[in-house]
Amino acid sequence: MGSLGIAISEAVEDAATHDDTNYALGSVLNHVCLHQTIIGQEAMIQFSKIDEYPDMVIGCCGGGSNFSGIAMPYVRDKIVVGKDIQIIAVEPAACPTLTKGKFAYDYGDTAKIAPITMMYTLGHDFVPPGIHAGGLRYHGDSPIVSQLLNDGLIEARAVHQTEVFEAAKIFAHAESILPAPESAHAIRTAIDEALRCKETGEDKTILFCLSGHGHFDLSAYEAYNAGELEDVEYTDKMLRIGLECLPNIE
């Protein structure tokens, strides 16, 4: 199934070999993340209309634009206004860039065409296992998301895909909306946090981003219902091998 790093390389190659084609690099780079923040800004306006403010903001994270869209405006509030808010980026346990990767300079794509940036990375040669959250299968993360994690302004969680699809199914039964596997990573963590609050008696407002529908992922849901999905653990050996390809920056 490859990876998003390979897909970027192939897209750049196609654009470079056709005079009528241009390529705009998205998802990982900071300008894309900032463009997406309209989502979080709209969420803030909606909360203000009911005189509420979230205690927790949760978004799925692969390259970083999805998470950034919902979270960045709240990160600003945390820095500038001093808001006490928990901001969580959720990634696949099979591709744990933020939770296991190294904060280092690396290429944004496999062919080393994209810019070198400082980010959490598993190594640009890394090809993640064939999990069904295809949009989260990327070796690195946005430089701005990576810096926020390194500075302790956000936190990261990694979840397995069977847990993710369990949460997606619960959400579909409750809301009659079939979520994309990527979005269901945020749902999984939102459910976990809600259950934890139920146990502790805490009263918290949880905001998560439902970023896509799963209408084109029915085969994945079918595999989950049939008990055919497997969880893949990213090992220390895999990390060690992946990091061998990092560029030597003097």
Q: Span 13-42, mean pLDDT?
A: 86
Non-local (6+) Cβ contacts of 159 within 8 A are 90, 91, 92, 93, 185, 188, 189
pLDDT band at 5 (very low <50, low <70, confident <90, very high): low
Q: State residue 3's pLDDT score.
A: 65
Q: State residue 10's pLDDT score.
A: 77
Q: State residue 236's pLDDT score.
A: 92
Instruction: Summarize pLDDT for 147-185 with one digit per residue, the tens.
Output: 999 999 999 999 999 999 999 999 999 999 999 999 999
3-state secondary structure 154-218: CEEEEECHHHHHHHHHHHHHHHCCCECHHHHHHHHHHHHHHHHHHHHCCCCCEEECCCCECCCCH
Instruction: Summarize pLDDT for 53-104 with one digit per residue, the tens.
Output: 999 999 999 999 999 999 999 999 999 999 999 999 999 999 999 999 999 9
**Range list of H helices, the chain:** 4-16, 30-35, 38-49, 65-76, 97-100, 143-150, 161-175, 181-200, 218-225, 236-243
Q: State residue 250's pLDDT score.
A: 66
Cα separations in angstroms, 76 against 41, 136, 143: 11, 25, 16
Instruction: Summarize pLDDT for 204-234 with one digit per residue, the tens.
Output: 999 999 999 999 999 999 999 999 999 988 9
Q: State residue 16's pLDDT score.
A: 79
Domains of the chain (ranges plus CATH)?
4-243 (3.40.50.1100)
In this prediction the pTM is 0.92
